Structure 1
Amino acid sequence: MPHPTAPSAAPPAVHDGLVLEPRDVRFDWAQLPLHWIPDEPMATHTINVLHLLLPEGERWFVRVFKDALPMIRDEQLREEVLGFIGQESIHAEAHQEVLDHLLAQGLDPRPYLRQISWLFQRILGGKPHLTERQRRENIIERVAFVAAIEHFTAFLGDWVLNSPGLDQAKADPTMLDLLRWHGAEEVEHRSVAFDLMVHLDPGYPRRIRGMAVSGPLLVHLWVRGVRFLLAADPTLQGRIRPTWREARRHSRRGLLPDPMRSIRSGLRYLRPGYHPTQEGSSSQALAYLATSPAARAAAVR
């Protein structure tokens, strides 16, 4: 096994020539039911946490990567980062539209969103009054946080592309297309944040710190988000509370990712020779993007 301080393995050849295309997708939410997985409010709202976290979170990704652009010395990586910025900007807006629809249906997400905004803008945002050296270190550290989070978004993307349980449960087709379009793009660009981190700092400790901060934080925010949505749902009146037992039951039906698989995925990220191209399938992601109703409509506009 490589020494823990050894640089990460070089990206595999499959990553060569990656061209990321921002797809200007649009969705019509007029007919979306509040519980878009019929009769499954907990599964619905567990996935709905994505809509709480991603608009502000992905705008933060964009700000971090724009700060990092002047530090990039590799032209192909620079092009990939620019494509990543374009895709993440559209992701944020697509999920924002779902939040607006939830509000129109009587579920007010704004109390939770104010906390998320505070986290990404004040705690994880850029720090004024830093020296040039401190600012560079701060940018690289935040890139490492993004790389760890992107590992989990790629894991979720791979899961939703391979989740027939959602189809069998008759989940809303427009929401499924949003989730699978977004998931496919997460798989498509799964290497970019990691490659940028390694480009700026090839040391193994940086990767460990990124996951040590981002992994527990993401779990904490997700659990709080599920509790918030179930409590704020006007049709439930507080009757349902989330439990790990219910989460496991839903995962066995294919409605949610398996929590243990999520943990094992995080542990794979810590292997010294790890690279994100070892996760998911680019060909499967591109195949879905070629058939996605929203992506196909975007291609002809």
Structure 2
Amino acid sequence: MPRSTPVPALAAPAARVHESLVLEPRDVRFDWAQLPLHWIPDEPVATHVINVLHLLLPEGERWFVKVFKEALPLIRDEQLREEVLGFIGQEAIHAEAHQEVLDHMLGQGLDPRPYVRQVSWLFRRVLGDKPGLSARRRRENVIERVAFIAAIEHFTAFLGDWALNSPGLDRAKADPTMLDLLRWHGAEEVEHRSVAFDLLVHLDPGYLRRLRGMLVSGPLLVHLWVRGARYLLAADPTLAGRLKPTWGEALRISRRGLLPSPGRSVRSGLRYLRPGYHPTQEGSSSQALGYLATSPAARAAAAHG
């Protein structure tokens, strides 16, 4: 199977495949030496809108890991604890993989560090641990942050499912190594899509916490993404500030299959708010595992032992 071809979903029942999953971190090896600055040819706006992932994910996923480590003592279910530990291992590797792309951008003359410093401040100072809290308030603070992560993980799973099923990127001849990163990461996001949600329900089964998590995280993600796209287009040394992202341009690009459509993204967020919602209703574990078994980066890491 060509490495740029989305993996078809397999026929096994989704619930049975999901229940049998054992989450584990997977070594990967990406070679960025040949990655062009605009890795979707002649599409700098689409390239940089997706590149916002690399700005947000290293600091964001390190924050996920920290919060989930703080939540471990609160978990009373051994299977959920094992899933959380697997989630922590996968997210740590994701952060490092995207950090490599940031380092490559810097080598190409696009400096992501000013924006990344702002993201770091947000996760470490605004959303970080609050010293001096009582035991009860500290527990509430951890659960509140888990609710934010559960909402964010809903969108990362949505994006992962889109990446696995995005032939528009192949038609546009997107760089195959970047496609592999997006699909490898996306497949793992689909694979562990229910862990943060299940942890939230374990710690607080009430609906209001879930609602509040989405009402905070959804608009914040949109804000950070728009600012990130603007920053990258302004900092791109080949564009000299000529291009600015607009919603009209985003809609045009999404119609070509290079981005998820805004309408589909909004509908995804609304599904999360349904009282009977569970993340296993989104994406395909079989498809995710199928891609993870064929990912060139995973095979390259295995070959180097």
2: CA distance between counterparts of 1:287 and 1:13?
A: 15
| Match status 1:47 vs 2:13 | no
| C-alpha distance in 2 between matches for 1:144 and 1:15 | 22
Query: Alpha-carbon deviation of 1:16?
Result: 2.5
Aligned mate of 1:170, from 169, 173, 176: 173
Is contact 2:168-2:257 (8 Å) kept?
yes
d(CA) in 2 for partners of 1:42 and 1:60?
Answer: 28
Q: 2:271 aligns with which of 268, 271, 274?
A: 268
Instruction: Tell me what 2:154 maps to.
Output: 151
Which residue in 2 is equivalent to 1:129? 132
SS of alignment partner, residue 293 of structure 2:
helix
Aligned to 2:224: 221
Pairing partner for 1:258 from 256, 261, 267: 261
Quick check: 1:140 aligned with 2:113? Answer: no
Give 1:265's aligned amino acid.
S
Residue-by-residue CA offset, 1:180-217 (whole Å, 9 max, x unaligned): 00000000000000000000000000000000100000
Query: Separation in 2 of the partners of 1:42 and 1:53?
Result: 17
Unmatched segments (≥5 aa) in structure 1: 1-11
Once the two structures are TM-superposed, the CA of residue 26 in structure 1 deviates from its matched residue by 1.5
**Residues 154 and 183, structure 1, Cα contact 8 Å, conserved in 2:** yes
Query: Are positions 1:20 and 2:23 aligned together?
Result: yes
CA distance in structure 1 between the partners assigned to 2:274 and 2:95 by the alignment: 30
* 1:119 lines up with 2:122 in the alignment: yes
* Equivalent in 197, 201, 212 of residue 200 of structure 2: 197
Give the aligned partner of residue 9 of structure 2.
none
- Counterpart amino acid of residue 98 in structure 1: V
Give every structure 1 segment of 4 or more consecutive aligned residues whose post-TM-superposition deviation is greater than 4 Å: none
- Return the offset for 1:298: 3.0
Q: Which amino acid aligns with 2:133?
A: L
Counterpart residue number, 1:91: 94
Please tell me whether the aligned partners of residues 18 and 80 of structure 1 are also in contact (alpha carbons under 8 angstroms). no
- 8 Å CA contact 1:147, 1:194 repeated in 2: yes
Cα root mean square deviation, aligned: 1.1
2:32 matched to which residue of 1?
Answer: 29
Structure 1 residue aligned with 2:188, among 170, 185, 189?
185
Residue 291 of structure 1 aligns to a residue whose secondary structure is coil
Q: Which amino acid aligns with 1:202?
A: P
Q: Normalising by the residue count of structure 2, what TM-score does the alignment of the two structures yield?
A: 0.94
Equivalent residue pairs, number = 291
Alpha-carbon deviations, 1:33-55, whole Å to 9, x = none? Answer: 00000010000000000000000
Question: Which of residues 48, 51, 71 is equivalent to 2:74?
Answer: 71
1:232 Cα offset (Å): 0.3
CA deviation digits over 1:26-85, x for unaligned, max 9?
111111000000010000000000000000000000000000001101111000000000
- Alpha-carbon distance in structure 1 between the residues aligned to 2:163 and 2:251: 16
2:103 to 86, 100, 105: 100
- Unaligned runs of 5+ residues in structure 2 are 1-14
Residue in 2 aligned with 1:298?
301
How far off its partner does 1:21 sit?
Answer: 1.6
- Give 2:252's aligned amino acid: R
The counterpart of 2:164, out of the listed 161, 166, 170, is: 161
The answer to whether the 8 Å contact 1:52/1:225 transfers is yes
**Using the alignment, how far apart are the partners of 2:16 and 2:143 within structure 1?**
25
Does the CA-based 8 Å contact 1:149-1:214 persist in structure 2? yes
- The structural deviation recorded for 1:289 is 0.6
Distance in 2 between the 1:13 and 1:33 partners? 41
- Please give the TM-score of this superposition, normalised by the length of structure 1: 0.95
Contact 1:23-1:299 within 8 A present in 2 as well? no
Residue in 1 that maps onto 2:241:
238
